[in-house]
Amino acid sequence: MSTQAVPLPLLNLTFGVHAFKALALATELGLFTELSGTTTTVARFAARHGIDDRPAELLLTACTALGLLRRDDAGTYRNSEMSEEFLVRGKPYYFGGWVTVVDRHEYPAYLKLADSLRGNHPVSWDPVRQESLFAPDDPVMLEHFWEGMHALSAFTARRLAESQDFTAIRRVLDVGGGGGAFAVELCRHHPSLRVTVFDLPFVCELTRPRIAAAGLEKQIDLVGGDFFTTPLPKGHDAVLLSNILHDWGETDARKILAACAEALPENGKLIICESFVDDDKRGPVPAALMSLNMLVETWGRNYTAGEYTAWLRDQGLVTERVLALDGAPTTGALVARRIRP
């Protein structure tokens, strides 16, 4: 046996289940929202939720160890800076919606990961009964998924707004931009920008209240349609695809790229926000695990920047750069330019 090898990294991997469920339960209980701007103790937390002190202490200790809470020497708990920023409902970059999606929608599917592996099909929804993951009559999707996607997208949108030069861009077409996270964030950072969100009609209706709440009805338009069957609206300087292409197999992903290219003018920009798998297929971990997640969720996977570059070349686009979106759930943005009409 190697003197260097130890099993601790394997143990730490198994702790992923415990860590996630602690986060999910605390989020479900509203712990971080109730602690916003205040503190609690084991006794107060137990009394508030009608539980015994022992389970209350165990959950609070786990959350403290994970960096979600801070505990002082007197046994008083408060939110960590991260939790205060991202786990308090109502905050601009509230991430709890995505935690709920993973807990209610994805976690049960992983109990059937082997079925997905052997059958090469998703298991988080029924491919026989539904046309796709995005069925409008799926109650779990309607209740949790779109809020979760907004949570997953909001901070990424902020990073994109800060990293990409939008000086020469006046109008953006956000394809599959339901939830409005990118549209809202881009318009807040760049007040002269106009954004059109193109998504399924029922998703547009779910998105409309978010745009109204942000007070951006004059900057953001909603157009309903299916990007496989409906021509994309023209008249935009840039087209945005954020976490769209990984939902589809290569054939469909290429169809979406072709539709986007058709909608762009010469020198128009195509921005693809994804967690890109390395060209050598060795990582990184977030992209590789999100790609595995597509096994239980869709017919797609996370692609490499090299794969996108080759497909875009076939559509008359050239990759200009790949931006790192530091600290964002979606880790990169590939920017390409249309070189022929």
Angle at 109 between CA 104 and CA 111, to 5 degrees: 115
What are the angstrom distances between the C-alpha of 55 and each of 60, 61, 123? 9, 10, 33
* Contact yes or no for 319/308 (Cβ under 8 A): yes
State the DSSP H helix or E strand holding residue 99, giving kind and residue range, or none if neither. helix 96-101
| First CA to last CA distance, the chain | 62
* Strands annotated E in 103-219: 171-175, 194-199
For helices 305-314 and 250-263, angle between their N-to-C axes, nearest 10 degrees: 50
For helices 201-213 and 146-163, angle between their N-to-C axes, nearest 10 degrees: 60
Q: What residue has token string 């289940």?
A: 17
Beta-carbon count within 10 A of 294 CB: 18
Print burial letters for 58-73: b (CB count within 10 Å at least 16), e (below 16).
ebbebbeebebbbbee
The token duo for 59 is: 């959950």
Set 105, 150, 236, 246: catalytic member: 246
Q: 18 catalytic, yes or no? A: no
Instruction: Round to whole Å and give the CA distance between 257 and 259.
Output: 5
Angle at 323 between CA 322 and CA 324, to 5 degrees: 120
Active site residues: 246
